Each structure stands twice: as C-alpha cells, then as structure tokens.
C-alpha cells in the first residue's frame, strides 16, 4: 500500500499540492522510488526553499533527498568537494569554514541542498564577478528515468550536464556532485554601506563599486515613490583578511557568533506584513544605514533571514510569492523604473526587496542571469489581485528582454516562459533523450507546459 499523500508547498506556502513522499536513504532506495506508477509524475525535493511549485507535483510522487547526505571526498589542493545531493550548504559551512573554506557562491539562505542549488543554478551576491554555482560545478551524477546513474560534466554527457544545471529536477534526480569551494582567511566580511537617493544613483553605485567588490547587493525600498523611487542601501563587501582582524579576533578567525535563533511558532490567522508595517520597517531601515564601513560575520552578511526560523509564516495562511525579475544591462534602468512604479501604484507591500547586479551567464540551458540586474521582492498573496499584477509585471519584463527566475516562480504561464527562455527547445530535446516517457514532472513544469498538464 502506498503512503497517504502529504500537502506540500514551496517556501512561499502558495500554491499547495498533495504528493506521495518517498525518503530513500541510498541509491537502491532512489531506484526503487522511481519504479511503479507515479500518476502525475515524480520530482526530487531538497529542503523546499524554492518559493513556488517546483519541488512537488500534485497527484504524483516527491522524492526527498535529505537522507542522501554523505561527504564523499575533498581535495585540499583544488578545493574540489564531492558530496551527495542531500548535503546542505549549512552542513558544508559547519565542516569547512573552520578549515578556511567557503562556498563559491551562496543564496540568501544556507538551508538548501547541493542538489537543489544545482537544479536551480543558484546565484549569490557575487554573481557580478563569478556567475552562478554552475561555474564551479565540475560534474554531476544523475539518476535518469530508467534508473541508471549517468555521470555528466562539460566533457562527458555534456547535454545532460547543461540541461540538469538549472533544469529544476526535470532531467532526473541528482545523486551527487563535485564542485569547488574557495579559500577564505576569516569568517568576516568588510562591508561598505552606501545610502542612495533613487534608482539611478543605486545603479551608479553598483557600476562604480562592483568591479572592486567581491560581494554586492542592495536592499531597495519598494514603497518609495516619486523622486525617491528606487532609493536603497547598497552593501558592497569583500572577505576580511586575517591581518585586518584585531589581535583578539585573530585567535579564532573562523568563529561565528552564537546567536539565539528566533522562531515564528505558528501561522497567524492574518498576515502581519501589510503596507503599514512594511512602510515603517523601510523608513527605519533606510534611516539606520548611513554611509559607513563595517566588519560583519558571514551569517549576518549572507543569511540575515536564517536567524528567524519559519519567517515565511508571517505572511499568514494565504502565503506569498517572490517575484524575481532579471533585466539585461541595456534596459535595466528603464525596465526597473517601470516595474517599480507598477508595484508602487498597486500598493503591494514588499517587505523584502533585493537588487543585485549580475555578471557572466553560464552554460545552463535554462540559465537565468547574464550581465544586467535582478530585483527580487516578496508580495503577500491575494487571489486574483496578484495574478493580475504579475501578468502586468511579466509584460514589462518581456518588453525589456527580461525573464523570471524559475526557483521563485509560482504563477507564470507557458507562453511567457517560452518567450523568456530561448533555449527551451534544446532543453526539451535533452529531457526527451533521458526521460522519453516524461516521468520527471513538477506542478511548475505542468503549469509551464514543459510536461503535459
Ligand atoms: C530566504 C531565501 C533566500 C534565497 N535566496 C536566493 C538567492 O539569493 N539566490 C538564489 O539563486 N536562490 C535563492 N533562494 C532560492 C533557493 O536557493 C533555491 O530555490 C534552491 O533551489 C533551494 O534548494 P532546496 O534544496 O531547498 O531545493 P527545493 O526547493 O527542494 O527544490 C528546488 C528545485 O530543485 C529540484 N531539486 C532538488 N533536489 C534535487 C535533486 N537532488 N536532483 C534534481 N533536482 C533537485 C527540485 O525538483 C526543484 O525543482 C532563496 C530561498 C530562500 C527561502
């Protein structure tokens, strides 16, 4: 008898769907999970940090990888790490930071798995310099539809490699991967804060400071309108060197402060993040960050939200979406202006809005970023209203040659997706080669028309 389906969602808690969940502990268990009838399809799931519906399939099977979590090898000469797909970034940091190694790039939470990070081809605050995680991945082992594990890299089964990187789990289940860690001298980041008056100044600060900054990101006040639209606090940083620490701090260069992790214990009946609370937060944040330099620890710089467990509950039972848009450099200013003014006019309250500048595209077929800018903002979900707003935002993106990030998407339609991802047909050909019956599917892939609805 198969287990009862569970109701699953992404981090935004919208939408939801019922899937049967398998939790294999090894390769044989993964292969067993593949067998049988999966109804609407089967899809891998890491820690469920993608926002929308990419890590579950309503009416199908979800394979959680959390127990596929062995460290298989590490080469201290090259920094090459060989791990199973269910190992999390948090576990890698815990083991390797004390030895002077850090992730080559990281999303804004460390609670992601290696498999999930590769499947989304995640990017961090250093994209403008180094691109996304794919740039550091040497090889991937993928269990494809017939249960065999295919090793792929840029030189071996390159079609599968380029489709699996950023392929959102639709080519198969990543079993293990080899990627490079980078050396750091301390667990601190030296950050220059710049408060900007408007969008144009924000982009100018990126332009002038990014080349010399390893990390760069702006918190943007999405409720500011008129001449203040796009005002931001830009944070440009670099890894702090050992010699820059005080003699006392030098005794424990890789230490991280112990912080009490707070938690949102239950979902309030009504979302607590409304336009009033967000406006107050934005005013306070903007006022609190003048121009200055500060040394902060890695957790504070890279993972500020990880200090509040289950913060996604603050949006209430209806959940929220994250809209992450990319604009190529030539249209960034105009595109961002139009997008921001549409959001401001809609009154949608975005508590968290982050702007980053982007650098080299990698060779993933569904690669999201290339030189330009990406804006990510959280919007509380309201049925009908948010669909209409996102439809308007999607049209602005299309007009400016932009695209939406699959790891955040919850609402895009198939036509829009096809227009934004020019290598989709190439991707689909590879999917058919390794998954001829279309076994791997998610609620997202069905909505986008990648797999039959
Ligand atoms: C607070 C927060 C901040 C974030 N910041 C960023 C950011 O700065 N940059 C960024 O790029 N992303 C960011 N993200 C998104 C997150 O990094 C990605 O969604 C990532 O894919 C989540 O990893 P996961 O292990 O939780 O995967 P899941 O969410 O479980 O799955 C995501 C996708 O990966 C696939 N997948 C998972 N494991 C495997 C596997 N073993 N084999 C094949 N496919 C698999 C799933 O099928 C799904 O399509 C953020 C998310 C949160 C919650």
Separation between Cα atoms, residue 364 and residue 22, nearest integer Å: 28
The residue-averaged pLDDT of 410-428 equals 98
Atom number of ligand 1 nearest to Cα 121: 11
Alpha carbon of 143 to ligand 1 centroid (Å): 19
Instruction: Report the candidate in 140, 160, 156, 45 with the shortest Cα–Cα distance to residue 430.
Output: 160
Q: Which of 36-40, 48-52, 391-395, 423-427 has the lowest mean pLDDT?
A: 36-40
43, 87 contact by CB (below 8 A): no
Cβ(168) – ligand 1 distance below 6 Å = yes
Residue nearest (by alpha carbon) to ligand 1 atom 18 = 50
Whose alpha carbon is nearest atom 27 of ligand 1? 116
320-328 and 215-220 as β-strands: parallel, antiparallel, unpaired?
unpaired
Ligand 1 center to residue 366 CA distance, Å? 15
Strand partners, 328: 372
Report residue 82 CA to chain centroid gap: 21
**Alpha-carbon span 50 to 33, nearest angstrom:** 22
**Ligand 1 mean position, distance from CA 115 (Å):** 8
- CA pair distance 399, 252, nearest whole angstrom: 51
Q: Would you state the pLDDT for residue 349?
A: 65
Q: Map residue 200 onto helix, strand or coil.
A: helix
HSE-up of residue 339 (Cα within 13 Å, Cβ side): 36
Neighbouring-strand partners of residue 314: none
Tell whether ligand 1 has an atom less than 6 A from the beta carbon of residue 123: yes
| CA-173 nearest atom, ligand 1 | 42
Ligand 1 mean position, distance from CA 294 (Å) = 30
* Cβ of 48 less than 6 Å from ligand 1: yes
Structure tokens at 310: 């289950």
d(CA 447, CA 158): 28
167/121 Cα distance (integer angstroms): 8
What is the length of the chain?
A: 453
Residue matched to tokens 């424990």: 252
Q: Is 173 in the pocket of ligand 1 (CB under 6 A)?
A: yes
pLDDT bucket at 435, cuts 50 / 70 / 90: very high
Q: Is the pLDDT of residue 352 over 90?
A: no
Instruction: State percent of the chain over pLDDT 90.
Output: 86
Dist. CA 226 → ligand 1 center (Å): 35
What atom of ligand 1 comes closest to residue 119's alpha carbon? 34
Work out the mean pLDDT of the chain and round it to a whole number. Answer: 95
Beta strands 149-153 and 182-183, pairing class: unpaired
Q: Is the pLDDT of residue 20 over 70?
A: yes
- For residues 176-193, give the mean pLDDT: 98
CA 105 to ligand 1 centroid distance, Å: 14
Q: 24: Cβ below 6 Å to ligand 1?
A: no
Any atom of ligand 1 within 6 Å of the Cβ of 134:
no
pTM score of the predicted model? 0.97
What average pLDDT does this structure show over 408-417? 98
Ligand 1 pocket: which of 107, 137, 170 to mutate (most atoms within 8 A of CB): 107
Residue 8 has pLDDT above 90, yes or no: yes
Whether the per-residue pLDDT at 165 is higher than 90: the answer is yes
Average pLDDT rounded to a whole number, residues 12-34: 96
* Closest atom of ligand 1 relative to the 172 alpha carbon: 43
State whether the beta carbon of 107 lies less than 6 angstroms from ligand 1: yes
CA of 121 to the centre of ligand 1 (A): 9
Nearest 5°: CA angle at 92, between 89 and 95? 150
pLDDT score at 246: 94
Phi-psi region of 316 (alpha: psi -120 to 50; beta: other; left: phi over 0): left
82 — phi, psi (to 5°)? -115, 110
Confidence of residue 279 (pLDDT cuts 50, 70, 90): confident
Query: What percent of the chain lies above the pLDDT cut of 70?
Result: 99
402 in helix, strand or coil? coil
Ligand 1 neighbour 412 (Cβ under 6 A) = no
Going along the chain from its start, the domains and CATH numbers come out as 188-411 (3.30.70.2520)
Closest residue by CA, ligand 1 atom 14 = 107
Give the number of the atom of ligand 1 that is nearest the alpha carbon of residue 368.
11
pLDDT at 269 over 80: no
* pLDDT tens-place string over residues 207-222: 999 999 999 999 999 8
Q: Model confidence at 297, in pLDDT bands (50, 70, 90)?
A: very high
Residue-wise pLDDT tens digits, 198-254: 999 999 999 999 999 999 999 999 888 999 999 999 999 999 999 999 999 999 999
Average pLDDT over residues 11-25: 97
Q: What pLDDT score does 13 carry?
A: 97
CB 325 within 8 A of CB 393: yes
Q: Is 215 in the pocket of ligand 1 (CB under 6 A)?
A: no
Q: 362 C-alpha vs ligand 1 centroid, how far in Å?
A: 18
- pLDDT tens for each residue of 375-390: 999 999 999 999 999 9
**CB-CB contact of 52 with 419 (8 Å):** no
């Amino acid at each position: 008898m198969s287990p009862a389906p569970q109701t699953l969602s992404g981090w935004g808690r919208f939408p939801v769907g019922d899937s049967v969940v398998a939790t294999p502990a090894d390769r044989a268990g993964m292969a067993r999970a593949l067998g049988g009838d999966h109804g609407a399809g089967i899809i891998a799931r890491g820690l469920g940090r993608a926002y929308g519906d990419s890590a579950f399939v309503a009416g199908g099977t979800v394979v959680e990888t959390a127990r596929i979590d062995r460290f298989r090898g590490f080469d201290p000469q090259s920094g090459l790490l060989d791990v199973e797909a269910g190992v999390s970034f948090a576990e890698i940091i815990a083991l390797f930071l004390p030895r002077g190694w850090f992730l080559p790039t990281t999303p804004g939470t460390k609670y992601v798995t290696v498999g999930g990070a590769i499947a989304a081809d995640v990017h961090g605050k250093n994209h403008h310099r180094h691109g996304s995680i794919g740039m550091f991945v040497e090889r991937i082992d993928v269990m494809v539809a017939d249960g065999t594990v295919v090793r792929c890299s840029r030189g071996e089964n390159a079609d599968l490699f380029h489709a699996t990187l950023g392929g959102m789990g639709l080519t198969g289940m990543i079993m293990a991967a080899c990627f490079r860690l980078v050396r750091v001298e301390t667990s601190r980041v030296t950050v220059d804060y710049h408060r900007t008056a408007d969008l144009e100044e924000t982009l100018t600060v990126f332009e002038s400071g990014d080349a010399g900054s390893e990390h760069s990101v702006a918190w943007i006040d999405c409720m500011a309108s008129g001449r203040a639209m796009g005002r931001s606090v830009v944070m440009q940083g670099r890894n702090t060197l050992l010699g820059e620490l005080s003699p006392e701090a030098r005794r424990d260069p890789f230490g991280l402060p112990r912080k009490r992790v707070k938690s949102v214990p239950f979902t309030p009946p009504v979302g607590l993040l409304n336009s009033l609370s967000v406006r107050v937060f934005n005013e306070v944040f903007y006022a609190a960050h003048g121009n200055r330099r500060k040394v902060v620890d890695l957790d504070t710089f890279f993972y500020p939200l990880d200090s509040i467990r289950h913060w996604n509950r603050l949006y209430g039972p209806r959940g929220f979406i994250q809209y992450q848009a990319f604009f190529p450099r030539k249209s960034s200013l105009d595109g961002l202006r139009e997008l921001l003014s549409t959001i401001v006019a809609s009154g949608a309250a975005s508590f968290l809005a982050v702007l980053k500048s982007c650098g080299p595209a990698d060779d993933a077929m569904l690669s999201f970023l290339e030189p330009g800018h990406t804006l990510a903002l959280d919007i509380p979900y309201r049925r009908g209203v948010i669909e209409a707003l996102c439809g308007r935002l999607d049209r602005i993106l299309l007009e400016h040659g932009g695209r939406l990030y699959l790891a955040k998407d919850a609402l895009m339609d198939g036509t829009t997706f096809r227009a934004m991802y020019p290598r989709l047909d190439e991707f689909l050909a590879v999917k058919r080669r390794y998954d001829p019956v279309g076994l791997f599917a998610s609620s997202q892939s069905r909505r986008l028309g990648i797999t039959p609805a």
